[in-house]
Structure 1
Amino acid sequence: MTRPVQIFAASTLYGAATVCAAIDAGRFGPAARRILLVCNNAVVPETTPAFDESPSFAALRSRFDEVRSWNAEIYPQHPSDWGPRLADVQLWERQLRRGWELGDAPVELVLESIQVNPARALASIFSEALLHVYADGVMSYGPTRNKLPDLLHGRLERLLYVDLVPGLTPLLLTEYGVAQEAVPGPELRAVLTELAACGPDLGEVEPGGALLLGQYLSALGLIEEDEEEALHGDMLRAAVAAGHRQVVFKPHPSAPLPLTRSLLAAAEQEGVRLRVLDEPLLAETAFEVFKPELVVGCFSTGLFTARALYGLPVARVGTELVLRRLQPYENSNRVPVTLAHLLLGEGEAPLDAGELVRTVGYCMQPELYAPLRGEAVEWLTRHLGPDTARYFTKRRLSGLGLPGGQPVSKENAVRLLKQSAAVRRAARGARTVRKVVAGK
């Protein structure tokens, strides 16, 4: 049997490390060739180096026979925006097979974020390829963002995910019966250690203290810039309250600005030694190099990685604010924020994480996860109260006719029915039948 060519599409160093850990753990069978396809999804890719240009990438290079750039293939189009026209799909496959010297070999695609481009574009071009999806963060525990075409989800082989919340299985793609497979933690930790060894020179390092993880919440429109700055100050004060006088701040590599004014002011006021890392590096590299005694953040995947893979104490700050601000309700950050608030606070989690995630997931995507409605009604009936209302909005509960929502008037019921996609589809079908009958 002809061995397939395996094409691994990745947009981040952490994502590439995840698939390397899966390869090391034997999660992929023999291949004729392994190609790493680098997708630079930065807003302006021309001014933002792709992850394969970082010194750390040298640790991963040997797992692949070759490395190619998706941006170069589709230039000047942006990977997040571009997909082939249906009429051009076969032309694109012929071009890529010729340019990448694939011949007639079968192809397996290993993709992230299957709901959007560039994964959707690649799956369309290689229309007969088997699809493996990998999720490198906490978003995999949430629902699929939108419905997938039949010809796409029918090719899905499995979901590979990092087991960052032990005991919790992802909701992503379960509506299609896709098998789930965890990437072993020891293999991923070993790969991350390799990355740190090849990372940038950080000069003199004093281990210990607290490490603060920045995100890019205001750039995503989740909160305002001044609120994110204030959040950084709150993180530092949380570290001080825990007894730390030495603090390192690692901005998110995708953040357009580090937003450190409030942080610097808070450090001066508290008399804390603060170091801001200007070098673009993974949070996990900082864990390896600085060996912090506490990691503080909002809902960064790094918090879960620190706890699950490194055994480090973590603290979350600002999740209440983000939960209040998240719009729309189905925003894919909702489950990561929910898990951070539930699991990363002080003491034991008061609720079962799986039950809460399935209830929130149903409320986010009620049509895709309709079988979860009964469980959601039962959970809300038993648990909804002052301490759990933060995970829901009254408007959403009302719109779905769930416990905790406002009573629905006759007029609102009619309006909600008209807004229902299922009802609209049924109405279109009925109109089509009437036209056919009338034509006869």
Structure 2
Amino acid sequence: MTAQPRIQIFQVSTLYGAATLAAALDSGRFGAREDARRILLVSHNAEIPETALRLDAMTGYDRIVARFDETIDWNEAIHPHHPSSWAPRPEEVPLWQRVFRTAWGLADAPVELIVESIQVNPAKALAALFAESSVQLYADGLMSYGPTRGELPQSIACRVRRLLHLDLVPGLRPLLLAEYGVEPELVPDTAFRAVLAEIAEAAEGDPQVTAAVAAEPTALLLGQYLAALGILTADEEEELHIRMLRGAAAAGHTSVVFKPHPTAPARYSTALHEAAEESGVRLTVLDGPLLAETFYERCRPRLVVGCFSTAMLTASVYYDVPIARVGTDTVLERLKPYENSNRVPLTVVDHIVPDLESGEGPAVPGAAPETLTPLVRAVGHCMQPRLHPLLRDETAAYLTARQGDDDTARYFQRERLTELELPGGDGRRAGSRLRRSLARGGRS
């Protein structure tokens, strides 16, 4: 009797993540293609998936899909439930697994899961569904450098084999899943750059890209979706984009492109165009279904400006383009709760990328400075002290050595330090609430 072929299920929700997977596949990180049946499981995680840009509508998606044997839409599979909220009840797991094995033609073949964000659905739901399967993670951007969002069930944690990630900050080691002994593994730079070039090739003849390139821009402004996340108001986010434009103009750029985030709401007023006119800048908005990296390939700007977007580091690491940040100080003040998973990406960018409005010149950051790792580890401990208790003494020493340093203090909230009874907190207040929380296993 012939053995059932291995099934590899790759769960993905963004084109950037799909490109990371493609690079890992191309570099042999998942073995030879003929050794397994590869399924791309696409999840649309937007709050209202029906109104958001679908992954399969992104330019270059077809090139990525060619690496897989088939594609399955997770939203359709669990309809009418939302992928961010649905998970099987424990008592129903055997039934649901049989349902999906039958629907997807898996029979009784062994399944390997390759997922993003194991702490949340749909990855967590898949790990529960295929309870006997090994789990591998890949990191979609800068969040791998931060701690795990919360404690994983032991039934999942013991099955995680490795974390694949891009070398976006050379020399900085991910904290994600470190508490479980999961080893990070780099996706080769050359493989990822080749995939990005392949995606950009698919944009040949795209009218938006052609128009943007014809404008001969020298700077690219990256929008994020901070208002949608409740970090800024819509007006404040619009003002942030205006600050980016004015900063680029002050640096001597007369033609710029604004690239909204693919999942950001389609809300633009005339304010950005008015600011461009006032600054004597030619503005082109590139709001098609394109990765920012496609523009890097086609136009090679001399400056990329953003808040704390992963695409900023992609520009510097893979294209040697100088980058600058705007607005990170405001977001550091607003970001709540302290354990918000955006905190480490924000901290990293704030620490190593020049501030465009301060008069610093844009730069290619290069390898992580020696000050970055201890900062990230201290912030990571303060975010998730229960997951990283062994970092407490290191964090206390770090904070003690930097008492009175405003540049360091901005990364740590006084109230949080007080709760954790760490240097920089209010020493007059006891940390009894935290101790009680830790004693009963609650969230810090």
Structure 2-normalised TM-score?
0.92
- The letter for the 2-side match of 1:289 is R
C-alpha displacement of 1:387: 1.5
What 5-or-longer segments of structure 2 have no aligned partner?
Answer: 355-359
Distance verdict in 2 for CA 1:425–1:119, change over 3 Å: closer
Alignment partners' CA distance in 1, 2:261 and 2:282: 20
- The letter for the 2-side match of 1:393 is Q
Which residue in the other structure is 1:308 paired with?
A: 317
Which residue in the other structure is 1:18 paired with?
A: 20
**Does 2:78 align with 1:60?**
no
**Does 2:423 align with 1:417?**
no
Alignment partners' CA distance in 1, 2:296 and 2:66: 24
Identity %: 55
Q: 1:383 aligns with which of 382, 393, 402?
A: 402
The answer to whether the Cα contact below 8 Å between 1:229 and 1:261 also exists between their aligned partners in 2 is no
Which residue in the other structure is 1:433 paired with?
A: none
Which residue in the other structure is 1:141 paired with?
A: 145
Which residue in the other structure is 2:128 paired with?
A: 124
Which residue in the other structure is 1:201 paired with?
A: 207
Alignment partners' CA distance in 2, 1:75 and 1:26: 34
Which has the higher mean CA deviation after the structures are superposed, 8-17 or 50-59? Answer: 50-59
Matches within 5 A, 1:310-329: 310-329=319-338
Per-residue CA deviation, residues 11-57 of structure 1 (Å, 9 max, x unaligned), is 01111111010000110123321000000111111222421233421
C-alpha displacement of 1:100: 1.1
Matches within 5 A, 1:93-132: 93-132=97-136
User: Over aligned residues, Cα RMSD in angstroms?
Assistant: 1.7
Which has the higher mean CA deviation after the structures are superposed, 307-316 or 250-259? Answer: 250-259
Alignment partners' CA distance in 2, 1:139 and 1:414: 31
C-alpha displacement of 1:417: 3.1
Which residue in the other structure is 1:172 paired with?
A: 176
Matches within 5 A, 1:14-413: 14-30=16-32, 31-199=35-203, 200-202=206-208, 203-204=210-211, 205-206=213-214, 207-345=216-354, 346=360, 352-384=371-403, 385-409=405-429, 412-413=430-431
Distance verdict in 2 for CA 1:415–1:191, change over 3 Å: closer
Which residue in the other structure is 1:429 paired with?
A: none
The answer to whether the Cα contact below 8 Å between 2:53 and 2:262 also exists between their aligned partners in 1 is no
The answer to whether the Cα contact below 8 Å between 2:53 and 2:289 also exists between their aligned partners in 1 is no
SS in structure 2 at match of 1:163? coil
Distance verdict in 2 for CA 1:395–1:417, change over 3 Å: same
C-alpha displacement of 1:425: 4.5
SS in structure 2 at match of 1:58? helix
Distance verdict in 2 for CA 1:351–1:406, change over 3 Å: farther
SS in structure 1 at match of 2:199? helix
Per-residue CA deviation, residues 374-419 of structure 1 (Å, 9 max, x unaligned), is 110111111241111110111011110111111134xx4444433x
Distance verdict in 2 for CA 1:44–1:414, change over 3 Å: closer
Structure 1 or 2, whichever has the larger Rg, is 1
C-alpha displacement of 1:423: 1.6
SS in structure 2 at match of 1:388? helix
SS in structure 1 at match of 2:418? helix
SS in structure 1 at match of 2:25? helix
Distance verdict in 2 for CA 1:350–1:198, change over 3 Å: closer
Which residue in the other structure is 1:435 paired with?
A: none
Alignment partners' CA distance in 2, 1:132 and 1:358: 23
C-alpha displacement of 1:2: 5.3
The answer to whether the Cα contact below 8 Å between 1:297 and 1:317 also exists between their aligned partners in 2 is yes
Per-residue CA deviation, residues 305-329 of structure 1 (Å, 9 max, x unaligned), is 1011111000000000000111111
Aligned residue-pair number:
422
SS in structure 2 at match of 1:315? strand
Q: 1:6 aligns with which of 1, 5, 8?
A: 8
C-alpha displacement of 1:227: 1.2
Alignment partners' CA distance in 2, 1:254 and 1:219: 9
SS in structure 2 at match of 1:146? coil
- The letter for the 2-side match of 1:176 is Y
Alignment partners' CA distance in 2, 1:3 and 1:179: 27
Which has the higher mean CA deviation after the structures are superposed, 107-116 or 192-201? Answer: 192-201
Structure 1-normalised TM-score?
0.93
What 5-or-longer segments of structure 1 have no aligned partner?
Answer: 427-440
Distance verdict in 2 for CA 1:39–1:383, change over 3 Å: same
Alignment partners' CA distance in 1, 2:75 and 2:140: 21
Which has the higher mean CA deviation after the structures are superposed, 133-142 or 97-106? Answer: 97-106
